[in-house]
Amino acid sequence: MAVPEVVSVVDDNICAAQTTQVISAMFLLQRCYSAGAGARLASLRRLQTTSIAYGSLVPFKLSDIGEGIAEVQVKEWHVKVGDRVNQFDNICEVQSDKAAVSITSRYDGVIKKLYYNVDDVAKVGQPLIDIELDEDLEGASTGDQDSQASEAPKTPAISSSTPTGASVQQNHTKKLATPAVRRIAMENKVNISHVTGSGKDGRVLKEDVMRFLGQITTAPSDTSYTPHAASTPSAKWQPSALKEDQIVPVRGYTRAMVKSMSEALKIPHFGYNDEINVDSLVILRNQLKHVGKERGVKMSYMPMFIKAASLALTKFPMLNASADEKFENIIYKASHNICIAMDTPGGLVVPNIKNCEQRSLWEIAEELNRLHEAGKRQQISRDDLIGGTFTLSNIGAIGGTYASPVIFPPQVAIGALGKIEKLPRFDRDGKVYPANLVKVSWAADHRVVDGATMARFSNLWKEYLENPMIMLSEMR
């Protein structure tokens, strides 16, 4: 702070003694200002000595990712020691017992240390990596690093809830791809713009790059969810004999299912089975195929099963419900967030499609394909895993007819669909004809749902599927 200039204007009537006193006061005031400025300068110098400057080594800590998650499993590193990263570049993929999350960098710099190997468990609040900074970070004192770890970046970053961790498209000609895929392309000297993407919206996947290099010869996999494809998953799974005992830690989705199924044992289940003739549904699906090609969405049977369930839940809201912790109140849910049990490389996972009561068949089909693709990559977001109100499990995608499904707490009902098979049945005239049939196995919480309610719900759901025109007439 500058010392104000004082112009001494001494009136002729002021005596010399008074003038001397004024000048003494001026010098005293100047010394006070100088002392204050010196203190402030010293304080500023102390702040500069604790700021993060060029060349500083900063521990990048795993910040809180919500939902009470205290630890995660490192699934994949996108960087290695010596790599240079920029803000918002993907650092690694981590897997909690609830969701997969992409961790991005908050700094520009060089990776100096990785604290964990793949499959190690990382603790929230502990360092993931050390980064040597490229430039000064003004005002970022070392004492503020912990608070910065939980702050949102000022520049829009890639959202960790994005199912495929896709990078933001810079222009209309740039191919969509994750940083990991771009790194693979760069390491193999492949121009990613020349690679045909098989993902959603033409997104370039790792498999596309491998196929471009000739390391994969198969065609892009079909992401549709079709009960007829019972032999496909089993054909990919090749069992191998173990030569010695193997210890496998319970991690990721499996840990979440252990907790859920342990809670499910407290629920008094009851079952109800039925058989549905889906001849009309097969015809409807064939009619929608050409529309699906125009929309870029392949229509399978599962969206129809989901939509029919949502319409039936509208008239039987007690099946789309949950109870409070002390089981004193039943909460009927307005939104139909229908969960789909999926078999993924990381284990069973149950994401949900939000607000099915407001979605069309095409919107449900698009969401289902997105979740199925994310499940194969173990990149289902936390938002997709929370808030489910009702569950359908398609065991027919692998095989089988009837099942005994286990309720997914805190829900009160679940259905398991068998494979669609052609079997002989009698028509009204007593003649035998080939019918397309699917079996369904329901399970419900007997504390909330009685057998008669379950049967009426199943009958309505069955009517929608056997007479799809009725289902279509009630869609909003």
Structure tokens at 343: 């078999």
The per-residue pLDDT for 135 is 53
Judge if 300 and 444 occupy the same domain.
Answer: yes
Judge if 126 and 271 occupy the same domain.
Answer: no
68 torsion bin: left (phi>0), alpha (psi -120 to 50), beta (else): left
Q: Where among 84, 100, 132 does a domain terminate?
A: 132
Q: Could you tell me if residue 108 is inside a domain?
A: yes
Q: Could you tell me if residue 372 is inside a domain?
A: yes
Q: Where among 83, 117, 132 does a domain terminate?
A: 132
Q: Could you tell me if residue 199 is inside a domain?
A: no
- Greater confidence, 76 or 406? 406
The whole-angstrom separation of Cα 369 and Cα 164 is 12
The whole-angstrom separation of Cα 441 and Cα 439 is 7
Tell me which residue range forms the domain holding 447.
266-474
**Residue 473 CB-density burial (10 A; 0-12 exposed, 13-18 middle, 19+ buried):** exposed
Helix (H, G, I), strand (E, B) or coil at 263: helix
Find the mean pLDDT for residues 411-429: 95
For 144, residues 6+ apart whose C-beta sits below 8 A from its C-beta are: none
Helix (H, G, I), strand (E, B) or coil at 82: coil
Q: Read off the CATH number of the domain in which 460 is found.
A: 3.30.559.10
46 phi, psi to nearest 5 deg: -65, -40
Supply the residues annotated as catalytic.
Answer: 446, 450
The per-residue pLDDT for 449 is 96
The whole-angstrom separation of Cα 227 and Cα 56 is 56
Per 3-state DSSP, what percentage of the chain is helix, strand, and coil (rounded to 5)? 35, 20, 45
CB-CB contact of 354 with 335 (8 Å): yes
Q: Percent of the chain having pLDDT more than 70?
A: 72
The per-residue pLDDT for 223 is 37
Helix (H, G, I), strand (E, B) or coil at 311: helix
Q: Output DSSP code: residue 417.
A: E
Q: Read off the CATH number of the domain in which 66 is found.
A: 2.40.50.100
CB-CB contact of 72 with 65 (8 Å): yes
Residue type at position 352: N
168 — pLDDT class (breaks 50, 70, 90):
very low
CB-CB contact of 377 with 413 (8 Å): no
Q: How far is CA 264 from the centre of its chain?
A: 24
pLDDT higher than threshold 50 for residue 156: no
The whole-angstrom separation of Cα 325 and Cα 327 is 5
CB-CB contact of 308 with 471 (8 Å): yes
Q: What pLDDT digit, counting tens, does each position of 348-361 carry?
A: 889 999 999 999 99
Q: What pLDDT digit, counting tens, does each position of 219-248 carry?
A: 444 433 333 333 334 345 566 778 888 887
Q: Could you tell me if residue 398 is inside a domain?
A: yes
The per-residue pLDDT for 177 is 77
Q: Could you tell me if residue 194 is inside a domain?
A: no
Structure tokens at 257: 């299912």
Q: Output DSSP code: residue 373.
A: H
Find the mean pLDDT for residues 66-88: 82
Find the mean pLDDT for residues 154-173: 38
The whole-angstrom separation of Cα 99 and Cα 102 is 10
The per-residue pLDDT for 200 is 65
pLDDT higher than threshold 80 for residue 207: no
Q: Could you tell me if residue 311 is inside a domain?
A: yes
Helix (H, G, I), strand (E, B) or coil at 433: strand
Domain count, the chain: 2
How confident is the prediction for the chain on average, in pLDDT?
77
Q: Where among 101, 132, 163 does a domain terminate?
A: 132
Q: Could you tell me if residue 316 is inside a domain?
A: yes
CA torsion sign for 42, 47, 50, 53 is negative
Q: Could you tell me if residue 339 is inside a domain?
A: yes
In this predicted structure, which of 131-140, 164-173, 246-255 has the lowest mean pLDDT?
Answer: 164-173
The per-residue pLDDT for 351 is 93
CA torsion sign for 70, 72, 77, 80 is positive
The per-residue pLDDT for 423 is 96
The per-residue pLDDT for 67 is 56
For 334, residues 6+ apart whose C-beta sits below 8 A from its C-beta are: none
Find the mean pLDDT for residues 53-75: 75
Instruction: State pTM to two decimals.
Output: 0.58
Q: What pLDDT digit, counting tens, does each position of 5-50 carry?
A: 443 333 444 344 444 454 454 544 454 444 444 444 344 333 333 3
The per-residue pLDDT for 148 is 36
